[in-house]
Amino acid sequence: MIKRAHLLALVALTLMWGVNWPMMKLSLRELTPLYFRALTMSCGALWLYLFYLARGVRMLPRGAEWGSVVKLGLPNMLGWHTASILGVKELASGRAAILGFTMPIWTVLISVLFLGEKLTRRVAFAAVSVAIAIALLSSVEFTALSGRPLGIVWMEIAALFWAIGTLMMRRAQLTLPVEALTVWMMVLASVCLWVFAWSSEPAPRWQFSGAMWTSLVYSVFINYGFAQIIWTVLARNLPPATSAMGIMAVPMVGTLSATLIIGEWPHWQDLVALLFVASAIAAVLLPSQRKSESA
């Protein structure tokens, strides 16, 4: 039996992650993408470090644990967060969210192609659904006068990084607490992002509007703070099927909240693509009826 508190936390997490997409887009009106990621991730890592340290979590890696931080941090933090923010810069935020959350399908496809897992009808259905969704969103970008098809490439690279990182996390034998691992992966990624930003983007003026400061605070304390804390708890207590339902809802929240926050109205292609991606995620993450009955 799933506790009511865990379900409420999942709803809160879905809203936090969904709203974060248009909030990122709002921030990019006044701050370049790599500086935005570097600033918010480093501040978020500091706040998480202090929070977990106060709760008595062992935060300092030992010996070979530093290797796990580097190996897992490259795809899960640096790869995903760098490619995704570049995608958000090019695309409507709701569209970027839909493409980013094709990650579960890529995870399964990589497992089938390279790790020897069986290709099932559900996996094939998911792959076709995602292909249709990407084609629909690509058609909008290629036909619009202000279309940015490069953003689609960035978001799918981001989804692939996230998928690879997820598979590596599943196979990793960790002795470092997950909380500490998350914080140090964020520290590693933020250091790299500061270097990337300094070498490739103009220096920011650090004079922002009220809306911009609100967005930065949201990213640090909500997206990298409370949302990460909630996810760590839920990952230990919720079954995968329940977590999958939350994942499916994030792009929907991102698409709809973008209308209210930054005035982005979705095209019909966005809404249809959203349905295809949600169907694909359900196909690969939710248990089949046969499995449920045998359980």
| Residue 248 within any structural domain of the chain | no
| Residue 36 within any structural domain of the chain | yes
| pTM summary value | 0.87
Out of 66-80, 83-97, 147-161, 182-196, least confident range = 147-161
Confidence of residue 76 (pLDDT cuts 50, 70, 90): very high
| Residue 260 within any structural domain of the chain | no
| Residue 259 within any structural domain of the chain | no
N- to C-terminal Cα separation, the chain: 15
Taking residues 223-234, report their average pLDDT.
Answer: 88
CB-CB contact of 183 with 49 (8 Å): yes
pLDDT tens digits along 247-274: 778 888 899 899 999 998 888 888 898 8
The pLDDT assigned to 128 comes to 87
Taking residues 30-37, report their average pLDDT.
Answer: 97
| Residue 209 within any structural domain of the chain | yes
Please tell me the total count of domains within the chain.
1
Burial of 293 (0-12, 13-18, 19+ CB in 10 A): exposed
Confidence of residue 7 (pLDDT cuts 50, 70, 90): confident
Q: Over the chain, what is the mean pLDDT?
A: 87
- Of the chain, the percentage scoring pLDDT greater than 70 comes to 89
d(CA 199, CA 278): 38
If one compares 93 and 116, the residue with the highest pLDDT of the two is 93
The pLDDT assigned to 292 comes to 46
Taking residues 271-279, report their average pLDDT.
Answer: 87
CA distances for 251 relative to 16, 177, 199, 201, angstroms: 11, 29, 32, 29
pLDDT tens digits along 35-72: 999 999 999 999 999 999 999 999 999 999 999 999 99
The pLDDT assigned to 120 comes to 83
Residue 30 pLDDT exceeds 60: yes
Taking residues 8-26, report their average pLDDT.
Answer: 92
| Residue 250 within any structural domain of the chain | no
Domain housing 117 = 11-242+267-287
Confidence of residue 150 (pLDDT cuts 50, 70, 90): confident
Out of 172-176, 272-276, 278-282, least confident range = 278-282
Taking residues 21-30, report their average pLDDT.
Answer: 95
CA dihedral sign of residues 234, 108, 15, 81: positive
pLDDT tens digits along 188-203: 999 999 999 999 999 9
Please name which of 45, 41, 1, 48 lies closest in space to residue 20, comparing C-alpha atoms.
41
The pLDDT assigned to 295 comes to 45
| Residue 257 within any structural domain of the chain | no
CA dihedral sign of residues 282, 285, 291, 292: negative
The pLDDT assigned to 10 comes to 84
Confidence of residue 2 (pLDDT cuts 50, 70, 90): low
| Helix-strand-coil split of the chain, %, nearest 5 | 80, 0, 20
CA distances for 7 relative to 10, 97, 225, 227, 281, angstroms: 5, 22, 19, 14, 19
Structure tokens at 249: 């809802």
Please compute Rg for the chain using Cα positions. 19
| Residue 50 within any structural domain of the chain | yes
DSSP state of 238: S
Taking residues 20-39, report their average pLDDT.
Answer: 96
Instruction: Give CA torsion, residues 157, 159, 163, 166, to 10 deg.
Output: 120
